[in-house]
């Protein structure tokens, strides 16, 4: 609806979420005093982040799990 009024193309909600999630995750990784910093640990080869194993939907849909998946792409 807003696109109709302004005439400008707006980004998709999923793209906005992905970009913001990646930005926030990178800030957490860089700031060692952040409470969630310990959740983002690199694997021994140093390229990808270790993700927690879980079968629960609420853990798989949490910010930390989604952020690690985005950073590992």
Query: Where in the chain are the domains?
Result: 12-71
Give the model confidence (pLDDT) of 2-51 as tens digits: 666 777 888 899 999 999 999 999 999 999 999 999 999 999 999 999 98
Task: Give the Cα separation of 19 and 38 in Å (integer).
Answer: 22
Calpha distance 47→50 (Å, rounded): 10
The DSSP H or E segment spanning 20 is helix 13-30
Could you give the count of Cα atoms lying within 13 Å of 28 in the half-sphere of its Cβ? 19
- Model-level pTM greater than 0.85? no
Query: Residue 10 has what pLDDT?
Result: 81
């Amino acid at each position: 609806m807003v696109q109709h009024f302004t005439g400008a193309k707006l980004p998709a909600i999923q793209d906005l979420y992905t970009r913001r999630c990646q930005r926030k995750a990178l800030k957490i990784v860089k700031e060692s005093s952040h409470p969630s910093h310990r959740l983002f640990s690199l694997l021994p080869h140093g390229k990808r982040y270790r993700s927690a194993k879980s079968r629960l939907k609420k853990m798989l849909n949490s910010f930390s799990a989604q952020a690690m998946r985005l950073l590992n792409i």
